Amino acid sequence: MSQVVKCVPNFSEGRNADVVQALVRVVRSVPGVALLDETMDPDHHRAVLTFAGRPYAVAEVAFQMARVASQLIDLRSHHGEHPRVGATDVMPFVPIRGVSMQDCVQLARMVGQRIGNELKIPVFLYEQAASRPERKQLEWIRKGGLNGLADRMGSDPAWAPDFGPKHLHQTAGATVVGARWPLIAFNVNLKSQDLSIAKAIAKVVRQSSGGLPFVKAIGVELKSHSLVQVSMNLTNHEETPLHVVLAAVQREAAVHGVEVAGTEIVGLVPEQALMETAQQALCLNQFDGRQVLEARLDSSESREAIGRLAASKPGKDHFQPAAKAAAPEVKITDSQGLTGGSVGALSAAFAAGLGIMVAKLTRARAVETRLSEIRTRLHELAQADRDAYARVLQAKKLPLNHPDRPLQLSSNLLGAIETPLEIVKLSCELIPLLRGLSAHAKPELHPDLTMGLRLADAVIDGCLGMVDENMKIQPNQLLIASIRERFSVAEQMLVDEKSLCYTPPFDSWPQNMLNILKLR
């Protein structure tokens, strides 16, 4: 499973489209990251961009966006309805797939340290990354706005920033960086221009005032629409769904003799949250998410069946049972385009294929399924490594004095480092799977498993060497330090395997990695 992290930075600019597009261009300049959504609101004077991708690629984009924002946004001339303390006001990292909350905390710390050290902007860590209990909630850091934060920083040593100078940046203010679970930004517009009503309703529904759990709310004025709004963040839609929040706002609005003019969702929303609301609104009984057409088509069973059907020839082959479907064939026509990482990924894929063959014969269905998933991902990584190598070569061809060369080299090297690391991780997983099959396999199958184990061993050794060499030319030193931490995790995986008394010649293979791990 590939690793995916989401980042949702909020910028104090909602009226100048050129500034927002400059930030968008940063996202699109780094491989391994996809822009998912962009919104800007002139009343809030705020832009929210959502992007996701490989962890370190996302971290690089986040830092570069903070750099661009500090150059283009001047808080001294900023006036908007939304609370803020910085040009890049808040920057949360959210775990999506194949990463833990702790991974996102590490990313937040790495990016926060770069912003503080390189951009000279004070950084406060919040939510799951918070260094102090009083900084966990974003609203506590924003209390009193920019002036309130400046006063606390100047008078209370406990409010020294986690990174960067102990005073606000002249134009960019401060930045709040953290890690959190997914939330929904949900706003309810009211048919009124009375801001006191919106604030009164917000006070009733928000958790901090005794209202709904996991709801944060403020009242703001939308001058361009001649309306007021209850602006909310739902931090746990499973405990407090959208329809419950809307109903609460509607009830309170009715008390004040005001109607709801409409609602809006800022940014992206989990599919499950909309399904919960639809189920309630339509009074559906026993509704199952698998009844959603797109979800059913996107299931692994459907993708496999549709892919098999598309690849087969017309005629009776369309109805060939799934168990007899041929395994994907890996074709290597020549050495052009091959890289060490791609050969490693294909070699590990062959090792997984040998395990799949044995698993089929021994009816180890769960092992067969996991080995098939690993093999599929390794095929993808083979191409990913070729692409990463090509991008590194392209960056190296830029003139040494080219202004974009450091960024291009750093971001493109991310793929050349992360891809072999993922190949190592999957190869480490292959070893116990293959070894476990030997306990139930017939003696004539043991040579196949031994060959698979030897392949996995060679791939681990080779790919770690490639990562080590690529880190020598990686200009981002904080990134290198973070990758070393991931190295230590892989090291423990190898040591754990060694402790299980793996038979020769594999009893000494972790030493290869221990040598590579030595800090240079």
Q: What is the DSSP string of 383-441?
A: HHHHHHHHHHHHHHTS-TT-TTHHHHHHHHHHHHHHHHHHHHHHHHHHHHHHHHHHTTS
Do 131 and 22 have their domain in common? Answer: yes
Size of the chain in residues: 520
What is the C-alpha to C-alpha distance for residues 367 and 360, in angstroms, rounded to an integer? 9
Range 334-357 burial, b when 16+ CB lie within 10 A, else e: eeeeebbbbbbbbbbbbbbbbbbb
- The residue out of 179, 207, 224 marking a domain boundary is 179
Helix residue ranges, H only, 312-404: 340-362, 365-396
Q: What is the pLDDT of residues 263-298, one digit of tens each?
A: 999 877 887 788 888 888 888 776 766 677 766 666
Q: Are residues 346 and 494 in the same domain?
A: yes
What's at 370, amino acid-wise? Answer: R
- Tokens coding 152: 């606390």
Structural domain contains residue 297? no
If one counts every other C-beta atom within 10 angstroms of the C-beta of residue 440, the result is 14
Position 488 scores a pLDDT of: 59
Same domain for 357 and 214, yes or no, is no
Question: Do both 133 and 209 map to the same domain?
Answer: no
Task: Please indicate, yes or no, if residue 239 is contained in any of the structural domains.
Answer: yes
Does residue 393 lie within any of the structural domains?
Answer: yes
Is residue 282 domain-shared with residue 207, that is, in the same domain?
Answer: yes
- Of 260, 287, 314, the last residue of a domain is 287
Q: Percent helix, strand, coil in the chain (nearest 5)?
A: 55, 15, 30
pLDDT (tens digit per residue) in 177-197: 999 988 898 999 999 999 999
Same domain for 248 and 206: yes
Q: How far apart (Å, rounded) are the C-alpha atoms in residues 27 and 436?
A: 44
User: Domain of 446: which CATH number?
Assistant: 1.20.120.680
List, for residues 52-100, the tens digit of each pLDDT value: 998 888 998 999 999 999 999 999 888 887 889 999 999 999 998 888 8
On whether residue 317 sits in a domain, the answer given is no
Both tokens assigned to 246: 């809307």
Is residue 16 located within the same domain as residue 118? yes
Structural domain harbouring 432: 340-516
Q: Are strands 175-179 and 88-97 parallel, antiparallel or unpaired?
A: parallel
- Classify residue 241: in a domain, yes or no: yes
CA gap 89, 176 in Å, rounded: 6
Question: Are 156 and 204 members of one domain?
Answer: no
Q: How far apart are CA 123 and CA 176, in angstroms?
A: 6
How many domains does one find in the chain? 3
Confidence of residue 520 (pLDDT cuts 50, 70, 90): very low
Amino acid at 38: E
No. of H helices and E strands in the chain?
16, 11
| Distance between CA atoms of residues 70 and 386, nearest Å | 35
Contact present, 60 and 482 (Cβ < 8 Å): no
Residue at a domain's end among 152, 179, 206 = 179
Q: How far apart are CA 469 and CA 43, in angstroms?
A: 50
Biggest CA pair distance of the chain: 82
- Let me know if 167 is a catalytic residue: no
Q: Of 80 and 201, which is predicted with more confidence? A: 201
Secondary structure (3-state) at 190: strand
- Which of 82, 243, 256, 440 is flagged as catalytic? 82
Which 3 state secondary structure label does DSSP give 4?
A: strand
Of the given ranges (8-17, 155-164, 423-432), which has the lowest mean pLDDT? 423-432
Query: Distance (Å, rounded) from C-alpha 252 to C-alpha 207?
Result: 15
The CATH number of the domain holding residue 149 is: 3.30.990.10
Contacts of residue 212, Cβ cutoff 8 Å, sequence gap at least 6: 205, 206, 240, 244, 245, 248
pLDDT tier, 461 (very low <50, low <70, confident <90, very high otherwise): confident
Q: Which two tokens stand for residue 437?
A: 């099959």
Residues 262 and 349 in one domain: no
Nearest to 390 by CA among 333, 428, 338, 343: 338
User: Six-digit token pair at 95?
Assistant: 């775990």
Quick one: 119 and 191 in the same domain? no
How does DSSP classify residue 163? B
Question: What pLDDT digit, counting tens, does each position of 31-46 carry?
Answer: 788 899 898 988 889 9
Token pair for residue 453?
């184990």
Amino acid occupying residue 181: W
Query: What confidence tens digit (pLDDT) does each residue in 334-350 have?
Result: 445 678 888 988 999 99
Least confident of 118-132, 444-458, 473-487: 473-487
| Mean pLDDT across the chain | 82
461 falls within a domain? yes
What distance in Å separates the CA atoms of residue 407 and residue 192, rounded to the nearest whole number? 49
Assess whether 210 and 248 both reside in one domain.
yes
What pLDDT was estimated at residue 92?
95
H-helix or E-strand containing 149?
helix 145-155
Residue 407 lies in a domain: yes
Residue 304 falls inside a structural domain: no
Residues 444-460 have pLDDT tens digits of: 888 889 899 999 989 88
Q: What is the CATH number of the domain that holds 280?
A: 3.30.70.670
Pairing outcome for strands 46-53 and 10-11: antiparallel
- Closest by CA position to 107, among listed 427, 418, 387, 374: 418
Q: What is the model's pLDDT at position 176?
A: 97
Give the residue-averaged pLDDT of 504-516: 38
**Interior/surface letters 116-152, b for 16+ CB within 10 angstroms, e for the rest:** beebebbbbbbbbbbeeeebbebeebbeeebeebbee
If asked whether residues 129 and 259 sit together in one domain, one would say no
Q: Tell me, what's the pLDDT at 224?
A: 85
